[in-house]
Amino acid sequence: MMGEQKRRGRKNWSRALMAHRMHRLRDSSMMPPLDRGPQDGPKNATLDCGWGRLLFAPTFESAEALVDSLRQEKPEQRDIVIYIRDPHVVVAAAPQELFLDPSHTYRLDLATYRQAASRPRGFVVRRLASPEDADAVNSIYLQRKMVPVPPEFFLARGRRDRALIHLVAEDTDTGRVIGTVTGVDHAHVGGTKSADRIEGSSLWCLAVDPQATRPGIGEALVRHLAAHFQARGAPWLDLSVLHNNAQAIALYEKLGFVRVPCFAVKRKNPINEALFAPPPPDEARLNPYARLIVDEARRRGILVEITDAEAGFFRLTHGARSIHCRESLSELTSAVAMSICDDKTVTRRVVSRAGVRVPDQILAGDMEALESFLAKYEQVVVKPARGEQGKGVAVGLSDFEAVLAAIERARAFSDQVVIEEFVEGQDLRLVVIDYKLVAAAIRRPAHIMGDGMTSVRDLIERQSRRRAAATGGESRIPIDDETERCLAKLDLTLDSVPEAGREVTVRRTANLHTGGTIHDVTDHVHPDLVDAAVRAARAIEIPVTGIDFVVKSPYESDYVFIEANERPGLANHEPQPTAQRFIDLLFPHSMPASARASWTGEICPG
């Protein structure tokens, strides 16, 4: 009885404390935190963050002064006016140029904030410190559709300006940067005298590598930044988050952030277009692969007509030329080329005649041939002769009964099933457009990282959410028979708890639709691999394709051809210019003359 009373007392005390915190924060935020007025502090306070400027609205004397400052926004950057007392007045001063940002502001009371008892496992949080760090951060920004920052800014002003702090999360096993966050110390914006200082601090640009497997990266970055500003004596930490980013909002509320009535205003520029001018309903339903191409077409002034949003069909028209597309598949790809790619046995024969190395394979149906094939190669791959997105594919099978079961699963996707020699190596995708290499990437099967506390099932679900968020819902890790088979080979089940630091491969195929990750090697791929991919594309006579090889290394010449995809997902290879090259192929006169000369190999007239 006494124990129950104590538990109730602790629960009631916890509720009272939370209510007190929320009341305190909301009271403090009913007016913007910069309520002294411009006459008592810095005038027209701005801070260059590399991706754009923060403009502290209460330090400006009028809405007109704010508008004039916003008009100085640099190309390809995003300025943000924060802590606006009367956002409707500011927007009304230039309604054709400005819009109210559809984001919520959240605040963490650093006076009552308590640091986490446990430290993150498998990675450390530290300051950005090198050109390699800067490149890694920009890579994450680009994957997250964020504005990159000039590397020299990180390494020069970002180091010496006390108003800014750039943190990164580094994987302790690989040394790879897997997350980043930027903090702003308001006290060092504008004047330097204590009387001139702006109160508080803020968090910006929280981003986690969508292919990172460590759990808790975002939370650790936020906590580290909060602890940093708490040590500096800042009263609070603010952040802005899009109103529909439920996953991020859940994290912030878990950490004790409370929503406050503060607002931001931005300029109507191409970077912000999705925030103030959402696409038509049909266009909004396009998947990321179709949307990437449509956006590039619109950017060039090409007319876009969505013919079937759910399936990714659209028509592009420029002048007298009109081309119907389904994602990266266009009318320029013939039905014959598509048929060759559709049947993996035909694809193999066609590219083999062009001198491209192919693995041995047989068709399912002859039991004696199957037994002999399995005895010869020990491990095999079972896949539908027709299919895409890795559906029905089983890799690395050695048991006869397992092969038979995989054949039955594959028959759900195609009447003909292929049994293929298993070749050990890495999965390399080469995107070839107009018979030139545009992008090359190593694709890794879906894998998770143990933390010693979380079950395999929960780790898969967390990783799947991260992959889905980064790909518009296109990449998820299925929990099915193939997943359980892969786990069983490792003596694990979905309820097992892998030890901290253990990497567990939960799928054998590297397809992105089943949770695989992609790692760009375009600038380093061996020229023999490029030559083989182009020969394969020419043999099929297909102008846009994704050629899949198994390689020992992308830096070596050894390879084996696996398949050709007639509709490669161009969005998977950003920031390589896949959509640009696709539109160049369809409408060569829509690109600048200098780019046209570079792409076609012509001499640009001086």
**pLDDT 10s digits, 358-383:** 988 888 888 888 888 888 887 888 88
pLDDT at 28 over 60: no
Q: What are 369-424's pLDDT values in tens digits? A: 888 888 888 788 888 878 766 678 888 788 888 888 888 888 888 888 888 888 88
The alpha carbon torsion through 207, 209, 212, 218 (nearest 10 deg) reads 0
Q: Which helix H or strand E contains 336, and what residues bound it? A: helix 335-342
Which amino acid is located at 541 in the chain? Answer: E
pLDDT at 14 over 60: no
pLDDT at 602 over 90: no
pLDDT at 560: 93
Residue 520: C-alpha distances to residues 179, 207, 431, 532 (Å) = 18, 19, 11, 18
Q: Which of 241, 242, 307 is nearest to 278 (CA)?
A: 242
pLDDT at 586 over 90: yes
Give 153's contacts (C-beta < 8 A, 6+ positions apart).
48, 50
- To the nearest 10 degrees (0 to 180), the angle between helices 578-586 and 593-600 is 90
The residue whose two tokens read 């912000």 is 272
95: preceding bond cis by omega (within 30 degrees): no
The alpha carbon torsion through 67, 72, 77, 83 (nearest 10 deg) reads -30
Phi-psi region of 512 (alpha: psi -120 to 50; beta: other; left: phi over 0): alpha
pLDDT at 25 over 70: no
The rounded Cα 193 to chain-centroid distance in angstroms is 42
pLDDT at 6 over 50: no
pLDDT at 348 over 60: yes
Which amino acid is located at 310 in the chain? Answer: E
All structural domains of the chain, each given as residue ranges with its CATH number in brackets, are 280-328+587-600 (no CATH), 333-357+423-445+509-568 (3.30.470.20), 360-422 (3.30.1490.20), 447-507 (no CATH)
Average pLDDT over residues 138-142: 90
Tokens representing residue 313 in the block: 């069909």
Tokens representing residue 306 in the block: 């969505």
pLDDT at 605: 31
Work out the widest C-alpha separation in the chain, in whole angstroms.
91
- To the nearest 10 degrees (0 to 180), the angle between helices 344-353 and 527-540 is 110
* Positive/negative CA dihedral, 562, 567, 573, 578: positive
Tokens representing residue 147 in the block: 């504005």
State the number of CA atoms in the 13 A half-sphere of 315 facing the CB.
6
Mean pLDDT lowest for which of 5-14, 385-394, 566-575?
5-14
Residue 236 has phi, psi (to 5 degrees) of: -155, 165
Using a pLDDT cut of 70, give the percent of the chain over it. 87
The residue whose two tokens read 């010693």 is 452
pLDDT at 503: 84
* Strands 201-208, 236-242: pairing kind: parallel
Give residue 107's pLDDT band: very low, low, confident or very high (50, 70, 90): very high
Q: Which of 216, 273, 129, 286 is nearest to 452 (CA)?
A: 216
Bridge partners of residue 80, in order along the sequence: 54, 266
pLDDT at 12: 52
Helices (H), 490-577: 527-540
Helices (H), 71-194: 87-93, 131-143, 151-155, 157-160
Q: What are 446-495's pLDDT values in tens digits? A: 888 888 888 989 888 888 887 777 666 777 888 888 888 888 888 888 99
Burial label for 435, CB within 10 Å (0-12, 13-18, 19+), is middle
Which amino acid is located at 554 in the chain? Answer: P
The rounded Cα 467 to chain-centroid distance in angstroms is 7
Mean pLDDT lowest for which of 103-107, 116-120, 236-240, 251-255?
116-120
The residue whose two tokens read 């912030």 is 252
Q: Which of 522, 576, 560, 566 is nearest to 540 (CA)?
A: 566
Q: What are 152-210's pLDDT values in tens digits? A: 999 887 567 789 999 999 999 889 999 999 999 999 997 544 445 689 999 999 999 98
Burial label for 480, CB within 10 Å (0-12, 13-18, 19+), is exposed
First to last CA, the chain: 91
Tokens representing residue 89 in the block: 């007045």
pLDDT at 147 over 60: yes
Is the distance from CB of 235 to CB of 200 less than 8 angstroms?
yes
Q: What is the DSSP string of 44-84?
A: S-EEE-SS-EEEEGGGSS-HHHHHHHHTTPPTT---EEES-
Tokens representing residue 358 in the block: 């192919």
Burial 513-545 (b: 16+ CB within 10 A, else e): bbbbbbebbbeebbeebbebbbbbbebbebbbb
SS3 percent helix, strand, coil of the chain, rounded to 5, is 40, 25, 40
Average pLDDT, the chain: 86
pLDDT at 449: 85
Q: How many helices (H) and strands (E) does the chain have?
A: 20, 27
Give residue 603's pLDDT band: very low, low, confident or very high (50, 70, 90): very low
Phi-psi region of 326 (alpha: psi -120 to 50; beta: other; left: phi over 0): beta
State the number of CA atoms in the 13 A half-sphere of 533 facing the CB.
34
Rounded to the nearest 5 degrees, what angle is found at the Cα of 332, between the Cα atoms of 328 and 334?
105
Q: What are 29-86's pLDDT values in tens digits? A: 444 454 444 445 678 999 999 999 999 999 999 999 999 999 999 998 999 999 998 9
Q: What are 238-291's pLDDT values in tens digits? A: 999 999 998 899 999 999 999 999 999 999 998 898 898 877 788 888 988 999
Tokens representing residue 443 in the block: 């694709």
Burial label for 388, CB within 10 Å (0-12, 13-18, 19+), is middle
Report the C-alpha gap between 211 and 463 in whole angstroms.
8
Q: Which of 191, 145, 157 is nearest to 53 (CA)?
A: 157
How many other CB atoms are found less than 10 A from the CB of residue 26?
14
Rounded to the nearest 5 degrees, what angle is found at the Cα of 346, between the Cα atoms of 340 and 350?
85
Residue 527: C-alpha distances to residues 425, 553, 603 (Å) = 18, 12, 23
The residue whose two tokens read 């990321």 is 288
